[in-house]
Amino acid sequence: MRKFIGLALVFTVLTGCVSQKMASIYQMEGVEITQNSSGTDILNKYSTSRAITTLHSSLSLCIAQELDNSPVVLTSENYFGSRWWSYYNMPSQQAITVSGGETIKLVEGNNVVANAVTDYQNYSKYFISYTLTATRNQNDIRYLFSNIKQAQQYTGSVVNDGFENVKTLQSAHPNLVIDALNKEVDKIQACLLR
User: Domain for residue 125, yes or no?
Assistant: yes
- pLDDT value, residue 85: 47
User: Domain for residue 176, yes or no?
Assistant: yes
Nearest Cα to Cα of residue 91 among 44, 153, 45, 48 = 153
Helix (H) or strand (E) holding 60: helix 59-66
User: Domain for residue 7, yes or no?
Assistant: no
For helices 59-66 and 174-193, the axis angle rounded to 10 degrees is: 130
Q: Model pTM?
A: 0.81
Give residues with Cβ within 8 angstroms of 26, minimum separation 6.
Answer: 33, 168
The string of pLDDT tens digits covering residues 25-84 is 999 999 999 999 999 999 999 999 999 878 788 999 999 999 999 999 888 765 444 554
Count of domains forming the chain: 1
Residue type (1 letter), 33: I
User: Domain for residue 3, yes or no?
Assistant: no
Residue type (1 letter), 167: K
User: Domain for residue 5, yes or no?
Assistant: no
User: Domain for residue 12, yes or no?
Assistant: no
Three-class SS state of 93:
strand
- pLDDT value, residue 11: 45
Cα(96)–Cα(164) distance, integer angstroms? 13
User: Domain for residue 6, yes or no?
Assistant: no
Instruction: Using the predicted structure, report yes or no on whether residue 109 has a pLDDT greater than 60.
Output: yes
Give residues with Cβ within 8 angstroms of 76, minimum separation 6.
Answer: 92, 94, 95, 154, 155, 156, 157, 158, 159, 160
User: Which domain covers residue 153, as residue numbers?
Assistant: 21-193
Confidence bin at 10 (pLDDT 50/70/90): very low
- pLDDT value, residue 1: 53
User: Domain for residue 111, yes or no?
Assistant: yes
Residues 148, 167 contacting (CB under 8 angstroms): no
Instruction: Using the predicted structure, report yes or no on whether residue 91 has a pLDDT greater than 70.
Output: no
Residue type (1 letter), 114: A
